[in-house]
């Protein structure tokens, strides 16, 4: 195994540069090092001005999403040895505006997520004194997969629809809406449907499936979206066949 590997990292300082550039850094090639460790090495020993997001370094916080050799990845989960002998390209996440170096502006997602109301909606909120909502393990399993989303936004980077049309609400938002719809404690299906039964909602999706392919937590947002489409279609048919008063 070679001693080191070259990383081609995007640098961009909006106050000085007119456009992003790529700088080559040589970092030690250690068996247990991820791309993130390489970036940390650069920041600690080569250029302290390199800017990037990271936190848990173990694939649960969702902060360190970047494009590695063109693929959206968590940099804490992409290992240097997988890209040896290199060079490996590290770029900011696709489809998001770049703030600086490898940091992207995620404001769009922050605005979209609350729109699907990702919380338990009920008319009759029990107070804490009344006790817990009871839920069986089977009921939990219904939505467990979709609750694994860590909001890392790799799916948005992978989605070609989101790349073309920024108004598309996106895979993670819909998967999280589905997570709450399937939660037995929730009664808010109607409200979420009203938000998602639009072209910017589920109908923008053409089931490319890239989101599911890149998801590091195996949430399968594409599956969630298609199931949501079926729900939405049924809703449309029911609304057509049965006038509101009868339902």
Partner 1 sequence: MKKRTYFVFVLRELSSVFVGWSAVFLMVMLVAVGRGEAAYQRFLNWASSPVVVIVNVVALAFLVLHTVTWFALTPQAMEIRLGGRRVPRVKMVNVAGRSVPAATVVRVGGRRVPSGMVIASQYAGLIVVSAFIVWLVLR
Closest separation in Å from C-beta 178 to partner 1: 10
Residue placing its CB nearer to partner 1 in the complex, 36 or 219: 219
Q: Is the separation of the CB atoms in 191 and 121 below 8 Å?
A: yes
Binding pattern to partner 1, positions 161-200, x when CB under 8 A? ----------------------------------------
Considering only residues 44 to 73 of the shown chain, the ones binding partner 1 according to CB under 8 A are 70
Q: Nearest CA to 225 among 245, 200, 242?
A: 200
Closest separation in Å from C-beta 73 to partner 1: 14
- The binder of partner 1 chosen from 230, 233, 237, 239 (CB under 8 A): 230
C-alpha 156/C-alpha 148 separation (Å) is 16
From the list 13-21, 61-69, 104-112, 138-146, the region that binds partner 1 by CB under 8 A is 138-146
- Report the 10 Å Cβ neighbour count for 150: 19
Q: Is the separation of the CB atoms in 168 and 159 below 8 Å?
A: yes
Q: How far is CA 22 from the centre of its chain?
A: 25
Q: Is the separation of the CB atoms in 158 and 214 below 8 Å?
A: yes
C-alpha 40/C-alpha 60 separation (Å) is 18
Q: Which residues pair with 9 in a beta bridge?
A: 23, 90
Q: Does 160 sit near partner 1 (CB under 8 A)?
A: yes
- The binder of partner 1 chosen from 16, 138, 241, 245 (CB under 8 A): 138
Q: Which residues bind partner 1 (CB under 8 A)?
A: 70, 138, 141-142, 144-146, 160, 206-210, 212-213, 218, 220, 222-223, 226-227, 230
């Amino acid at each position: 195994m070679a001693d080191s590997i070259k990383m081609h990292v995007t640098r961009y300082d909006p106050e000085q540069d007119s456009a992003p550039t790529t700088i080559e850094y040589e970092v030690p090639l250690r068996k247990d090092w991820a791309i993130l460790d390489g970036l940390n090495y650069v920041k600690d020993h080569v250029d302290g001005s390199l800017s990037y997001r990271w936190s848990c370094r173990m694939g649960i916080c969702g902060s360190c999403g970047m494009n590695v050799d063109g693929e959206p990845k968590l940099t804490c989960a992409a290992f240097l040895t997988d890209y040896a002998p290199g060079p490996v390209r590290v770029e900011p996440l696709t489809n998001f505006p770049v703030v600086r170096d490898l940091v992207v502006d995620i404001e769009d997602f922050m605005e979209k997520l609350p729109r699907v109301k990702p919380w338990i909606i009920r008319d009759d909120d029990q107070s804490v004194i009344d006790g817990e909502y009871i839920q069986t393990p089977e009921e939990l399993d219904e939505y467990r997969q979709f609750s694994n989303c860590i909001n890392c936004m790799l799916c948005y980077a992978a989605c070609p629809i989101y790349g073309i049309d920024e108004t598309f609400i996106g895979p993670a938002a819909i998967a999280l809406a589905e997570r709450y719809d399937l939660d037995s404690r929730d009664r808010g299906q109607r409200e979420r449907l009203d938000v998602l039964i639009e072209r910017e909602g589920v109908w923008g999706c053409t089931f490319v499936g890239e989101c599911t392919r890149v998801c590091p937590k195996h949430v399968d947002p594409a599956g969630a979206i298609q199931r949501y489409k079926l729900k939405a279609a049924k809703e449309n048919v029911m609304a057509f066949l049965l006038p509101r008063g009868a339902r």
